[in-house]
C-alpha cells in the first residue's frame, strides 16, 4: 500500500525566500507524481506533473524533482510571494488508471 509523507507540515517564511517542500513515498513503482496547491476551502490546482521517467519539471518559479529510487520528490519555490501562501499537496499515482495517494500537505505562509 502506497503511503505518502510530506515534511514539514507547516512552514512560515519571509517574502523573497527560496524554499523547498519535501514529499516521500514508500513504493517506488510509481506512474507519475503531481504537486497540487489548495487554498483554504477551495479545490485542487495542479502545479506540476512528473512522469516516472522524468527527473524534474519546471513551471515559472516552481521546480519539482523526482528521485524514484529513493522515493522522494521536492518542490522548489523561488522568490516566494505572499500569494504563494496555501497548502501544497503531493500525490502519487501508482498506475496509469489507478487512484492517486495524497500526502497530508505542507501549509505554507509567506509573510510580507
Partner 1 sequence: AAGVIQSPRHLIKEKRETATLKCYPIPRHDTVYWYQQGPGQDPQFLISFYEKMQSDKGSIPDRFSAQQFSDYHSELNMSSLELGDSALYFCASSSLLAGAGEQYFGPGTRLTVT
Q: What is the 3-state secondary structure (H, E, C) of the chain?
A: CCCEEEECCEEEEECCCCEEEEEEECCCCCCEEEEEEECCCCCEEEEEEEECCCCEEEECCEEEEEECCCCEEEEEECCCCHHHCEEEEEEEECCCCCCEEECCCEEEEEEC
Q: How crowded is residue 75: how many other Cβ atoms within 10 Å of its Cβ?
A: 22
Applying CB under 8 A, does 49 fall inside the site for partner 1? yes
Applying CB under 8 A, does 62 fall inside the site for partner 1? no
Single out the residue of 41, 60, 83, 112 in contact with partner 1 (rule: CB under 8 A): 41
Cβ closer to partner 1: 8 or 16?
Answer: 8
Single out the residue of 47, 101, 108, 110 in contact with partner 1 (rule: CB under 8 A): 101
Single out the residue of 7, 29, 104, 111 in contact with partner 1 (rule: CB under 8 A): 104
Applying CB under 8 A, does 68 fall inside the site for partner 1? no
Q: Which range, of 20-28, 46-54, 62-70, 76-84, touches partner 1 by CB under 8 A?
A: 46-54
Task: Give which of 101, 88, 91 is closest to 19, Cα–Cα.
Answer: 88
Q: Which residues bind partner 1 (CB under 8 A)?
A: 31-32, 34, 36, 41-44, 46, 49, 51, 89, 91, 93, 96-105
Amino acid at each position: 500500500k502506497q503511503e505518502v509523507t510530506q515534511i514539514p507540515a507547516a512552514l512560515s517564511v519571509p517574502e523573497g525566500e527560496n524554499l523547498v517542500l519535501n514529499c516521500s513515498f514508500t513504493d517506488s513503482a510509481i506512474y507519475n507524481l503531481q504537486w497540487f496547491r489548495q487554498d483554504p476551502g477551495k479545490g485542487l490546482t495542479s502545479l506540476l506533473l512528473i512522469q516516472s521517467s522524468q527527473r524534474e519539471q519546471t513551471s515559472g518559479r516552481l521546480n519539482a524533482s523526482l528521485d524514484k529510487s529513493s522515493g522522494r520528490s521536492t518542490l522548489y519555490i523561488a522568490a516566494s510571494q505572499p500569494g504563494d501562501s496555501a497548502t501544497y499537496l503531493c500525490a502519487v499515482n501508482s498506475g496509469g488508471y489507478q487512484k492517486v495517494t495524497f500526502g497530508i500537505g505542507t501549509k505554507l505562509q509567506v509573510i510580507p
